[in-house]
Amino acid sequence: MVDLIGKLQDEARQGEAIAPKAGDTRSYARKFYIESYGCQMNFADSEIIASILQESGYGATRNAEEADLVFLNTCSIREKAEQTVRKRLTEFKSLKKSNPGMLIGMLGCMAERLKTTLLEEEKLVDMVVGPDAYRTLPVLINQADSGQKGINVLLSREETYADISPVRLNSNGVTAFVSIMRGCNNMCAFCVVPFTRGRERSRDAFSVVAECRDLWDKGYKEVTLLGQNVDSYYWHYPETGTQVTFANLLEMVAQVHPDLRVRFSTSHPKDITDEVLHVMAKHENICKYIHLPVQSGSTRILQLMNRTYTREWYLAKVKRIMEVMPDCGISSDIITGFCTETEEDHKDTLDLMKQSGYDFSYMFKYSERPGTLAAKRYEDDVPEEVKRSRLEEIVSLQNRLSLESNKRDLGKTFKVLIEGESKRSSQDWMGRTSHSKVVVFPKENKSLKPGDYVMVKVNDCTQGTLLGQTI
C-alpha cells in the first residue's frame, strides 16, 4: 500500500482501495468498493463516504469484482490523475458486463467538473456526486437502481460533515486524517479547487477536538489536520462569541494528550503566522514540519499565478520559520512550465529551491485545467519538451537537496513513531520523525509494536530514507 502520510499528496499517484474494517463480520446485502486518488482530502472524504454508506446498510469490500457499488473518488488538479481514472472507469465498465446490476459512481472534484461528459457522452458512470453532496448518496443509489442517472454536484456554504465519524477502513491503527475545513478562497490561476469544492468553511472546533480525542482513546498516536488551506481556519461560536484561529485549534488538539502527535497540511505561505509557529515550538507533540508550497521561484510567474507573494517575501517566511524553529523540516509544491515561463524564471525556481533547502518536494509539469483563471487568461505556450526538461532539472536538484538533508542527520538521535513494518523487510520497522522523515531500523527481537515511540540513532541514509538503530 502507498504510504498514506508521505505519498498521498502526489496527485497523480495510483489509487487506494478502501478495505473492510478489521473485525467486521457483519453480513451485508450489498457491498461497495472505493478507490481514492489524489490529495489527502480525497482520502479523508472517502472515509466519510464509507461511513455514510455503512450507516445505510452497505458493507465495504476490497474486491471490485464482488462489489455492487463501485466508486472512484478523485480530483482534477493534474491531468495524469484524470487519465488514470478514465482508464479505471473503462475497466469497470467492462467488469459491469459480467455484473449488469453493478453501479459505477464518480465522486469528488473530477465528478463536478466532468459530470456531463461522464454521464451522457461517454456513459462511463451511473452516478456523479460532488464533494458537498455525499449525504445524498443513498438517495442517488436508489435513483440509479431504478434506471435514472444519479447526479448531485451542488456546492454548499455550510457542509463540513462535522457530525459524521469517518470509518477508518484502511487504517494502520496509528495515524489518521482529520478534516478541519473545506473549500478555498484563494484564486490561484492554475487551480480548480475554488470551483469544485467551493468557498472556505471551517468545522466546529469542539467537534475537531472531540474527533481527535476519540482517535486517541481508540489507540491512534498521530493525527493530521487537513484543509485546502489550514492556516485560514477560523471558527466563531455564536453562543459565546468564542473565536478560534488555526493557532488556537492546533494548541487545543495538542492538549488532547502529550503523546498524540499532531501534523497539518496544507499551508498557504501568506497565511501561516508567527502565532502558529510559536504554538508549534511550544508543544513537543506538534511535529516540526511544514509543507509550504511555493509553486514557482519567479516573482513574475507568481504574480501570473495569483499567489499574492514575491520570491523575496517567501524566502523571508522560510527564514522566519527557521528563526522560531531551527530544526523545522520544510517541503514544497513546485509547478514548472507555467504560461510564459522563461529560462530565467526557471533558474529563479532552482535558486529558490537551493536557498530554501527543501527536505523534499512534490514536483509537476503545468497542465492546463479547464475553467481555471489561467485557462481563461493565458496561453499554455511552454513546449512539452521544455516542460519535461525543466522538470527533470528540478527533480534532480531536489534529489540532491534531499540527500544532503538526510546526510545532515547522520549521527543524530530522533524520537520515532513506529507506523508498521518496512515494505522491504519484515525484519525492520518503519516510522517517522517529527520532521516527517521516514526511518527504517531493525526489529532486533525487541517487544516493540506499531504505535510505540522509540529513540533511533541514524547511522546511514538514502535519498528518501534514514537508516538507524534503536538505543
Encode pLDDT of 388-437 as tens digits.
999 999 999 999 999 999 999 999 999 999 999 999 999 999 999 999 99
Closest CA to 128 of 88, 82, 52, 74: 74
Q: Rounded mean pLDDT of 431-444? A: 97
Cα dist from 147 to 44, 94, 219, whole Å:
30, 19, 44
pLDDT digits (tens, 9 = 90+) for 365-400: 999 988 899 999 999 999 999 999 999 999 999 999
- For position 407, what pLDDT does the model report? 98
Q: Which amino acid is at 132?
A: D
Task: Say yes or no to pLDDT of 22 above 60.
Answer: no
The cell for 128 is 456523479
Strands (E), 108-145: 127-129
The cell for 112 is 463536478
- For position 446, what pLDDT does the model report? 80
Q: Any idea which fold 323-408 has?
A: Transcription Regulator spoIIAA (3.30.750)
Q: Any idea which fold 413-470 has?
A: OB fold (Dihydrolipoamide Acetyltransferase, E2P) (2.40.50)
Kindly report the CA angle at 178 between 426 and 431, in degrees rounded to 5? Answer: 25
The cell for 195 is 470551483
- For position 292, what pLDDT does the model report? 97
Domain range annotation of the chain: 4-152, 323-408, 413-470
Q: Is the peptide bond before 308 cis (omega within 30 degrees of 0)?
A: no
Residue with cell 487506494: 16
Q: Any idea which fold 4-152 has?
A: Rossmann fold (3.40.50)
Return the SS3 of 304: helix
Task: Say yes or no to pLDDT of 77 above 70.
Answer: no
pLDDT digits (tens, 9 = 90+) for 154-208: 888 888 898 888 888 667 899 999 999 999 999 999 998 888 888 999 999 999 9
Cα dist from 378 to 190, 340, 374, 384, whole Å:
10, 8, 5, 16
Helices (H) and strands (E) in the chain, counts: 15, 22
pLDDT digits (tens, 9 = 90+) for 340-367: 999 999 999 999 999 999 999 999 999 9
